[in-house]
Amino acid sequence: MIDINNTILKKNFFLHAWYLLRDKILVQMLLVIAICLFTYQIIPIEAISYLYAMSLTLKSALVFILPFLIFGAIASAFAKIPKGGFLFTIGILLGLTLSNFINMSVAYFVGKAVIQDSGISEIAISSVQKIYPAFDLDLVGLIPPFIKKVFNNGVALIFGLLTGIMCSFFSLPKVESFANKVNKLAMFFMSKIFTRILPLFIAGFLLKMLREGELKQMFESQLFATLSVIVLILGYLAFWFVIASSFKLSRLKEIFFNTLPAMVTAFSTTSSASALPFSLEANEKNTKDPLLAQSLTPIIVNFHMMGSSMAVSIAALIIMTCFKVPLPSYSHFALFGMYFCLNKFAGSGVPAGSIIVTLPFFKSILGFNDDMVGLILAFYIAFDSVITLGNVAGNNLFVIFAQKVIRLFKKKENNVVIN
């Protein structure tokens, strides 16, 4: 009887593990990273070369589809804004974008200070053999040059915004239907195809960098700077918790303990959506305004990403320093930040979408090469628990500050009426 029970328990355990691996893309990617770390020395160079080529091909496919994803997602999102609530919704979206941009700006200046103090050294490639891709299948190269100039990521973003706003104010069913179809097709590629083979995408870049010695040197030379990402996110959150509480200890405890279940859920599941019910409950308690909490929380859950904005910014600076790429001026970085923040609307609903849909901008604006792109994606996944915790905590704080702003405007309106 005991043997039968043990057999059932083992069977259930393996079934549960299989379902977890099948359904959790991020778990699969973490498993792939672990396998690469333990096996890169025994995998033949030829096999790594083919995997690296496949990773480059997948990146090319992403670059090919990204303008359609950006246009479709942004146009569809703005087209759904009701005319009556347009100003309110636009105000919230602008607030989200501004908040994300401020977070990236803070991370930029803190990141530069950390890099200077920690004395990060450049990576000196010590590999006996440089690994090259076994084949080159560049899908972007198939696009005629004049089309690439007309329909790139920046144009797609602006065109998507204008299309969505026009559909919101005027009845344009055919235009809105076209935008929705483009969005569905692009999201189908991202969620059903690209994310399913994302572990393979990471494996090629990771094995190549491990075999050449780049990754080992990077983490050995600036462990302090890498860990500073965690300290930065948690310290920044603590600062805003204090501000949200108006420097009152009792209010600080109330906000923190109301938000704690959502943060714990976010950390353990690496999913902002999984923490949504707890965020709703926390926001209702923190604002004492259920209507505001229920209307705001679902909107911001996928777009306001304090943790990812900060982590990506400082990680990008660290990687650029290691690969001898000159650090950008603030104005140059601000351009990247603008694209990064606006493209969060295109990354919602995709695992690690916040970083995936912006990978081409790392290359075109910040000067990343393919190895650096693969490295920042691996970095993001490795720190995803802390990043998601930061995102969810930031979401809850955003609702509190939104309430303060709304009350301020109402107070000014009342003063105007009285006068």
Gap between the Cα atoms of 376 and 353, Å rounded: 13
As a whole number, the mean pLDDT across the chain is 77
pLDDT for res 8: 45
pLDDT for res 266: 81
Across 16-25, 76-85, 248-257, least confident range: 16-25
Return the closest-CA partner of residue 65 out of 178, 135, 158, 151.
151
Flag whether pLDDT at 165 surpasses 60.
yes
Residues in the chain: 419
Across 115-119, 260-264, 312-316, least confident range: 115-119
Return the closest-CA partner of residue 262 out of 252, 277, 251, 250.
277
User: DSSP readout, 296-351?
Assistant: HHHHHTTT--HHHHHHHHHHHHHHHHHTTPPPPPHHHHHHHHHHHHHTHHHHTTST
The better pLDDT of the pair 361, 241 is held by: 241
Query: Tokens standing for 368?
Result: 């990343």
Which are the contacts of 211, defined by CB distance < 8 A and separation ≥ 6? Answer: 40, 41, 43, 45, 48, 127, 131
Question: Cα–Cα distances in Å, from 93 out to 13, 77, 87, 300?
Answer: 44, 11, 10, 8
Query: Tokens standing for 139?
Result: 């899908």
Residue 235's domain comprises 2-418
Flag whether pLDDT at 255 surpasses 90.
yes
Confidence of residue 241 (pLDDT cuts 50, 70, 90): very high
Confidence of residue 149 (pLDDT cuts 50, 70, 90): low
Across 11-25, 301-315, 387-401, least confident range: 11-25
The better pLDDT of the pair 27, 371 is held by: 371
The pTM score is: 0.71
Could you identify the residue written with the tokens 């204090």? 242
CATH of the domain at 169: 1.10.3860
Mean pLDDT value of segment 284-304: 80
Contact call for residues 204 and 54 (beta carbons, < 8 A) = yes
Contact call for residues 137 and 204 (beta carbons, < 8 A) = no
Confidence of residue 415 (pLDDT cuts 50, 70, 90): low
The better pLDDT of the pair 37, 248 is held by: 248
Number of domains in the chain: 1
pLDDT for res 5: 47
Mean pLDDT value of segment 170-194: 82
Confidence of residue 251 (pLDDT cuts 50, 70, 90): very high
Phi, psi dihedrals of residue 375, rounded to the nearest 5°? -70, -40
pLDDT for res 293: 83
Query: Tokens standing for 55?
Result: 């990773």
Gap between the Cα atoms of 310 and 229, Å rounded: 8
Query: Residues 370, 374, 377, CA angle at the centre, nearest 5°?
Result: 140
HSE (side-chain half, CA atoms, 13 Å) at 209: 29
Q: How does pLDDT run across 118-148, given as a tens digit for each residue? A: 555 555 544 456 788 888 777 666 777 766 6
pLDDT for res 163: 87
